[in-house]
Amino acid sequence: MHVWEPAGNAIEFDCATMAAPALGYIIENNLLQWALCQQIKHFSNIEFITNHKLTKLNFNDNITHIELDNHSKLTAQLIVGADGANSLVRQMAGIDLNERDYQHTSIVATIKTQNVHQKTAWQYFLPNGPLAFLPLADPHTCSIVWSTEPKEAEYLMQLEDKKFHTELANAFSFKLGQITGSSERLSFPLRMRHAKQYVKAYVALIGDAAHTIHPLAGQGVNLGILDAAYLADIILTAQQKGKKIGSEAVLRKYERARKSDNAMMITIIDGFKQCFAAQSAPIKFLRNIGIDLTNRFTLLKNYLMKQAMGYRNF
């Protein structure tokens, strides 16, 4: 992974220094969902219900009562809200958020480049926000995430393809040459969200339902997977000990483990965003020193890579 800014200062992260096959993988969401659905088919004790929405959620008699839009009713010892940033489970459970507008809009697309991407993720910190080229299987194909101010994003979204390709290549300083093609562009506003509590009796939140962060370090999915891993581990341990998996005492262990870790990552990402957005001479000077020092110390870079790759002990 190559990270740099207009002044030319750069940091190189190389998985070879950790004897790892890769720093990360780019997986299309629909393919990941398909693979998970295929796995579900192997479990006879899972009832997989699709094409229905949650309409009611009540908690009483030591159990969760669920009603769907087809009027079917279900009960559960625990309901896990993994239903995204606008989580209905979170809202129905009455869990509040701390949230803040990042004042950025992200544009995403798949693009073709003149030069090969070298199996490298390229991230350029522009004054208005970061622009990332993420390598896909084809050596001339990348997924881009361009986070910028809302007005600039609106302008970019309205451009014809050829004009957008020119703007994109210019913004990226032609690091991979000309842009020769692109898919449909999508855009979405960026907000920091962090649930004030991850759990209540019989309810737990994971992933975007519990937290959303700026995509500049690509940590949103990693944090969600870690949430799921910790929660699964705590549920299995409680079940083996004969405890109620939906009890608040059991679920608080998950919240203590994950809320502080996620809060730290949110703070770090916010710090990166503010640091690279600042254009005053003293901050730029200190930032350049920090980039140079970080790039020289392998141990520090390896620590940062481990954190970004989601390596935790639990």
Total structural domains within the chain? 2
* CATH label of the domain that carries residue 170: 3.30.9.10
**What are 107-143's pLDDT values in tens digits?**
999 999 999 999 999 999 898 999 999 999 999 999 9
Range of lowest pLDDT (221-225, 228-232, 251-255): 221-225
Whether the CB-CB separation of 246 and 254 falls below 8 Å is answered with no
Whether residues 93 and 202 fall in one domain: yes
- 266 and 140 in a single domain? The answer is no
What is the pLDDT at residue 116? Answer: 98
Element (H, E) at 130: strand 129-135
- Select from 159, 190, 221 the last residue of a domain: 190
Same domain, 203 and 288: yes
* Predicted pLDDT of residue 16: 86
Q: Which residue has the higher pLDDT, 9 or 280?
A: 9
- Is 229 domain-assigned? yes
Q: Is the pLDDT at 286 greater than 80, yes or no?
A: no
Q: Are residues 49 and 152 in the same domain?
A: no
Residue 58 and residue 145 in one domain: no
- The answer to whether 108 and 187 are in contact (CB under 8 A) is yes
CATH number of the structural domain spanning residue 220: 3.50.50.60
d(CA 7, CA 5): 6
Q: What pLDDT score does 174 carry? A: 95
- Judge whether 127 lies within some domain: yes
Tell me, yes or no, whether 226 lies in a domain.
yes
* d(C-alpha 163, C-alpha 53), whole Å: 41
Report the pLDDT value the prediction gives residue 278, as an integer from 0 to 100.
67
312, 21 Cβ separation under 8 angstroms: no
Looking at 4-13, 104-113, 282-291, which range is the least confident one? 282-291
In a domain, 14, yes or no: no
Query: Band of the pLDDT at 20, cuts 50, 70, 90?
Result: confident
Question: 233-252: per-residue pLDDT in tens?
Answer: 999 999 999 999 999 999 99
Residue 62 sits in which domain range? 29-98+193-308
- With CA atoms as reference, report the closest residue to 246 among 256, 235, 232, 254: 235
Same domain, 149 and 219: no
Q: Are 241 and 178 contained in the same domain?
A: no
Domain boundary among 190, 206, 223: 190
Q: Are residues 118 and 231 located together in one domain of the fold?
A: no
What pLDDT is attached to residue 187? 97
Do residues 150 and 202 both lie within one domain? no
Kindly report the average pLDDT of the chain as a whole number.
90
Together in a domain, 91 and 222: yes
d(CA 42, CA 59): 31
CB 213 within 8 A of CB 265: yes
Same domain, 219 and 292: yes
Same domain assignment for residues 161 and 179: yes
CA distance 202 to 92: 13
- Does residue 4 fall inside a structural domain? no
State how far the Cα of 42 lies from the Cα of 44, in Å rounded to an integer: 6
